């Protein structure tokens, strides 16, 4: 087989490059459509477009660092776990649980002076 000229080699490389670019565009469009299906199933109308855009941009920029987890995003409410001040133990008989900070009982207790 005769050796390819530099011009023929360049034409072949450009044709391969075009084919790869088209494959990348097709794969990108398919992935975006798959994600669009996910978004269509979510109640996104509950947030503003500005907040939605900011949330998606934050998720995309967080994943650009090569991580697979969306770091820095607010976890869903179901995933959050809080521990009560008493360690999760129920109050003993005759004992009241401590009022939550900022509740009317806690601000009332702080405002009234202690009996002498």
User: Whole-model pTM?
Assistant: 0.47
Query: What does R_g of the chain's alpha carbons equal in angstroms?
Result: 30
Query: What would the pLDDT profile of 56-105 be if each residue is shown by its tens digit?
Result: 999 989 888 665 555 555 555 554 454 555 555 555 555 555 555 555 55
Query: What would the pLDDT profile of 29-39 be if each residue is shown by its tens digit?
Result: 999 999 999 99
Query: What would the pLDDT profile of 14-51 be if each residue is shown by its tens digit?
Result: 999 999 999 999 999 999 999 999 999 999 999 999 99
Q: What is the pLDDT of residue 2?
A: 76
Answer whether 57's CB lies under 8 Å from 46's CB: no
Q: What is the pLDDT of residue 79?
A: 45
Q: What is the pLDDT of residue 100?
A: 55
- The residue behind tokens 């003993």 is 92
Residue 116 and residue 95: Cα distance in Å, rounded? 22
């Amino acid at each position: 087989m005769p050796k390819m000229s530099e011009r023929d080699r360049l034409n072949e490389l450009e044709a391969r490059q075009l084919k790869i670019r088209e494959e990348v565009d097709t794969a990108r469009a398919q992935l975006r459509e798959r994600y669009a299906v996910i978004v269509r199933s979510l109640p996104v109308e509950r947030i503003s477009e500005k907040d939605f855009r900011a949330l998606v941009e934050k998720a995309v920029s967080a994943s650009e660092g090569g991580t697979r987890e969306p770091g820095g995003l607010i976890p869903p409410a179901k995933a959050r776990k809080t521990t009560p001040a008493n360690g999760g133990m129920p109050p003993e008989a005759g004992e009241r649980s401590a009022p939550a900070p900022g509740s009317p009982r806690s601000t009332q207790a702080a405002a009234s002076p202690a009996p002498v």
